[in-house]
Amino acid sequence: MPTQKKTLFRRFLIWRYKHISHKNFIFILSILVGLGSGLVAVTIKNITFWIETLLENGIIFSKNQLYFILPVIGLLLVYLLVKFVFKKQPEHAISSILYALSKRTGIIPNHKIYLPLITAPLTVGFGGSVGLLGPAVASGAAISSNISKIFHINSKTRMLLIGCAAAGAISSIFKSPIAAIIFAIEVFSLDLTLISLIPLLLASISAVVTSYFFLGNENLFNFKLIEQFQLSDIPFYIALGIGTAFASIYFTKMHFAITKFFERFKRKLHKLIFGGLAIGVMLYFIPPLYGEGLGFITNLLDGNHIEALGKTPLDNYTENIWVVIILLIGITIFKAIAMTTTFAAGGSGGIFIPTMVMGSALGNVVAKIINQFGFNVSEANFTLVGMAGLIAGVIHAPLTAIFLIAEITGGYDLFIPLMLTCAISFLITKNLLNYTIYTRELAEKGELLTHNKDETVLTLMALDSVIEQNFTTIQPKMTLGTMLHEAVAKSNRNLFPVVDEDENLVGIIVLDDIREFMFDTSLYNSLHVDDIMHNAPDYIIYEEDNMKSVMKKFQDSSAWNLPVLKEGKYYGFVSKSKLLTAYRRKLINFTR
């Protein structure tokens, strides 16, 4: 039976090659990927909502105020499932996709389709302070990668379909198809061409239609702009842009600092216990940190900051607006801490929606402070623009931020303050931090895809593909005569690596080094290899160097061949001619 299925599938592939052009087939696949991503987003939201409803209705804690210990239970469930059932560790969603794009030609394992659909709802549903967007994108990307493998799609198109999956997930969750397309282009460094734009558009549309089909007209934020943008508010939006920039830097640095702190714990169970209790303490004093925090944003937009803050130990003092401001500042500060602690303790989720929560709190705080000094600005508008400023700064995606908020609000009335705040936030953050939470590790290794085509092509190239090993090695104590008879006469190369008995590279000899005396037989027994060898102009370290650093070494040394050392031993050579030929071929394939 399996053989029969393979035969039928092979016939389908043959039929497809004959009757459907490659371009049209990609359009069809982009629609399928969009539908799949839309279903994933709807599924992950519904599972999380079901868990939250189960807990809120009292099956576990009735109407007690013991909800702050729920994150420990959620993290424990994730730990047990990961350790004993799936035996696969959750990864940061976008970072793992970026790695798959740059170093694995877009190949994503099957388990990443279903793992985020279970671990993320458990984490968020039980109060983990992370978002669902990242896991939805990760699951959708895994679906698109595996569809590409099934239909034997090339690596470039596979990468495009992964971008389609990301666009589909965002489009479905936020019902913002334009922002979804821009996110895929900004974050995954996809080329904005007509060939890539149409699949992204089809995926985004099919995903948002899927969302409407299952969820109706229900939106993430049911908000419409009432107060118009005032020209006199521009200085305040400039101040908000500066504030969101430094908040973005704080958010990013805090993430890496807490992650580094948790690395001290050798056992995952210890991380879980400490992290879960830390989250519980934060939730007790700042309830809006519970879960994603979308309800918090909605309440702020509705002007109901008391409902947004929830029940806190300072309830008796919330009539004082400065107490409210302090509590909102606390949310701004501690959302980044709670989110990273959830990750570090073993939880699964994303950073996009926590970024929005933090930005909404900061924007609302700025508006409240301005109004306390006698001005009259719209708190709802500043809440929205604050979200956009944090997205632009934390994720380095200013256009995504602008169009997302514009689509959420159902219009473009805030376009000017959105552009102003996002531009300031992005420029300051980009100048002070070259990386984001998504990209730092890959950027440090030189494995990050960017919109710079030269760097992207070098990133996509594999060092192994340009290493040549058909060189005849010689030993240091070998005589000139022996070298000529056993190496030079039998090799078609003009370069000879000199290695000792432990395969350590001790030097090289080029034919030009011996051309003047290679026919002087009187030197055949008296002259040895170690008398005429010399050091290589530079060395390529297999474990450390990427293609960008290899290219730079050729440029700095002016060499035509450089030796490769693997684990300290001689491994082969890279020639400049082969490197440039491989680069040219990759560039042609990438820009087609």
The pLDDT score that the predictor gives to residue 192 is 65
383 φ/ψ angles, rounded to the nearest 5 degrees: -60, -45
Strands 569-575, 467-468: pairing is antiparallel
- Of the CA atoms within 13 Å of residue 310, those in its CB half-sphere come to 18
- Are the C-beta atoms of residues 300 and 383 closer than 8 Å to each other? yes
CATH topology agreement for domains 231-455 and 460-591: no
The whole model's pTM is what? 0.79
Q: At what angle do helices 352-372 and 294-301 cross, to 10 degrees?
A: 30
Instruction: Please give the pLDDT value at position 1.
Output: 45
CB atoms near residue 553 (< 10 Å): 18
For the chain, the domains span 19-215, 231-455, 460-591
Lookup: tokens for 507: 């030097």
Count the neighbouring beta carbons within 10 Å of the beta carbon of residue 85. 9
Please give the pLDDT value at position 63. 47
pLDDT in tens, 515-537: 888 888 888 888 888 888 888 88
- Angle (nearest 5°) at CA 281 between 280 and 284: 85
For residues 474 and 502, what is the distance between their CA atoms, to the nearest angstrom? 13
Answer positive or negative: Cα dihedral of 146, 148, 154, 160: negative
Both tokens of 278, joined, read 């830390």
Token output for 368:
């409240």
Domain 231-455: give its CATH code. Answer: 1.10.3080.10
Specify the CATH number of the domain 19-215.
1.10.3080.10
CATH code of domain 460-591:
3.10.580.10
Picking from 406, 399, 369, the residue whose alpha carbon sits closest to that of residue 384 is 406
3-class secondary-structure state, position 564 = strand
CA distance 262 to 232: 46
The whole-number pLDDT of residue 137 equals 93
Dihedral sign, Cα of residue 341, residue 347, residue 350, residue 353: negative
Residues of the chain with pLDDT under 70: 1-6, 57-67, 191-194, 216-223, 411, 443-458, 587-592
Rg (the chain; Cα; Å): 29
